[in-house]
Structure 1
Amino acid sequence: MIMVSERRPNETPSERADRNFGDLLQELRVTQTGVQILFAFLLTLPLQSRFESLDAWERDVYVASLLLSAMATVCLIAPVAYHRAVFSLHKKPLVVRVAARFAIGGLFFLALAICCAVDLVLDLVLGRGTALVITGGLALVLLATWVIFPLLQRVGDLPEDAAESTPPEDH
């Protein structure tokens, strides 16, 4: 499900596509910072002396987190590469739809990478059982805030006061 905002009065399809693409790029800028920090952190972990003492589970979680972060990075940068490849074809609405799909994929991989990275650190600090419980709670929070709440907002199942601050033309 790709969320594209409604047309504003007197707005041409080209202007709408430009506005939607600008909004998407701003969202990607915010997301990319978090992905870069997480990815950089994960890239430096094997250089730490304690890394050698990780057990098989911790190494697997580390590898999963690193690969998921890499996938999130790829997906969140892909809209720029895609736009560069097709910008002269005058297909901005298509670029917006494809870029939005890449962004959703990037957020999916980012959520999984965050969970894996948190689980790894908590496993080292608090132990495996506690880490898994807390990470499960984090996964539920991510699911609620990044998926369930926006979908409920989209279908109009939220009380008016929860939706009050978002104008209907925004995505």
Structure 2
Amino acid sequence: MADAVAGLGGPSHGGRRETVEERSDRNWAELLQELRVMQTGVQILTGFLLTLPFQPRFADLDAYQRAVYLVLVVLSVATTGMLVSPVALHRALFRKHLKPQTVTGGDRMTRVAIVLLAFVMTGTVLLIFDVVVDRTAGLVVGASILGVLLFLWAVVPAVVRRRG
């Protein structure tokens, strides 16, 4: 292994002494762990959304609320699909010696899933506040949640990366 690492010209990515294959394996394992964390929450949220039409108060929703609900169902199912996509990509490319490309593709799919999840979470809060309080509260709280998620999921990582 020392020869393989030495052949890379010294420490590779981030000061780690690992081959391209080792780095790809490590990155893939880390990506899968991230997907596991996200998948559970998204499945619970999707399940919650799918049960709403069977609740007595669902008939009381106005046209706007029903439209928001339907958009949320589509986004939530799309988020679930996007979270499973890296695994499907891995299956399609298994034993093709394309692990770095699999990791890159999986990373991109996961980033899209995170954006979709932000919209699903924002929209769900918007809908709940719209139904329970009023439309203005729904829009204000929804926008606030989107701002918080943008800060936590984009600004904080950018600051950490810059200081890094």
- Superposition TM-score, scaled by structure 2 size: 0.89
- Write the distance in 1 (CA, Å) between the matches of 2:18 and 2:134: 56
Consecutive unaligned residues of structure 1, counting only runs of 5 or more, are 157-167
Over aligned residue pairs, what C-alpha RMSD do you find? 1.4
What is the CA deviation profile of residues 98-148 of structure 1, one whole-angstrom value per residue up to 9, with x for unaligned ones? Answer: 000000000111110111111111111111111111111111000000111
What is the CA deviation profile of residues 138-170 of structure 1, one whole-angstrom value per residue up to 9, with x for unaligned ones? Answer: 1100000011111222223xxxxxxxxxxx6xx
Moved more, 65-74 or 146-155: 146-155
Say if 2:101 is the partner of 1:101: no
What is the CA deviation profile of residues 38-78 of structure 1, one whole-angstrom value per residue up to 9, with x for unaligned ones? Answer: 00001100111111110011001101111110111111100
Stretches of 4+ moved more than 3 A in 1? none
Consecutive unaligned residues of structure 2, counting only runs of 5 or more, are 1-11
- Superposition TM-score, scaled by structure 1 size: 0.86
Q: Which is bigger in relative contact order (C-alpha 8 A, separation at least 6)?
A: 1
Contact 1:43 1:66 in 2 (8 A): yes
- Write the distance in 1 (CA, Å) between the matches of 2:97 and 2:108: 19
Q: Secondary structure of 2:17's partner?
A: coil
| Structure with bigger gyration radius | 2
* Aligned positions of 1:150-165 closer than 5 A: 150-156=157-163
More helix by share: 2
Aligned to 1:145: 152
- Write the distance in 2 (CA, Å) between the matches of 1:127 and 1:138: 16
Q: Secondary structure of 2:95's partner?
A: helix
